Amino acid sequence: MKRWIAAWLAGALFGAGLALSRMTDPNVVLGFLDVTGDFDPRLAFVLFGAVATTLIAFRLVLRRPRPVLAERFQLPLSQAIDRPLVTGALLFGVGWGLAGYCPGPALVGAAAGVDTALAFVAAMIAGSLLQAMTARRGPA
């Protein structure tokens, strides 16, 4: 039960941060990505704040023998930069650039009933299902 409460609180805090920074508004995100046009630098502060927080927090947290609410840390085993990673990153970036949404802000927007976010989440679920079906078939 403690893990569910901690997950809910972390998700609520994350969603509030996304809303406060206006990352749930695709026009703000697209303005940030438009470096040659009507560039809006405000999200750079969000980006730098997130990176700084992560750099500090990860160093502190990983000094612990184990997480507070789990038996062990679950860290990625592979550090390989392979085709699936690069392809996924490219698709993510293109989707973010075209729609102005990434999964977190889209879920916040969908929970608020924003029609573009609902469409994005539906497409995201379809893409996830397609990936799962493709992965089950194995490499081509």
Q: Minimum mean pLDDT among 29-33, 89-93, 101-105, 133-137: which range?
A: 133-137
pLDDT tens, position by position, 34-54: 888 888 888 888 889 989 999
Q: How many CB atoms lie within 10 A of CB 100?
A: 23
pLDDT of residue 56: 95
User: What's the chain's average pLDDT?
Assistant: 88
Closest CA to 30 of 115, 86, 126, 102: 102
Statement: the pTM of the whole predicted model exceeds 0.85: no
pLDDT at position 8 over 60? yes
Please give the angle made by the CA atoms of 53, 59 and 64, to the nearest 5 degrees. 125
Task: Please give the average per-residue pLDDT across 105-133, as a whole number.
Answer: 90
pLDDT of residue 115: 92
Closest CA to 114 of 126, 125, 101: 101
- What is the spatial distance between Cα 82 and Cα 93, in angstroms, rounded to a whole number? 17
pLDDT at position 137 over 80? no
Residue the block writes with tokens 């990673």: 85
pLDDT at position 122 over 60? yes
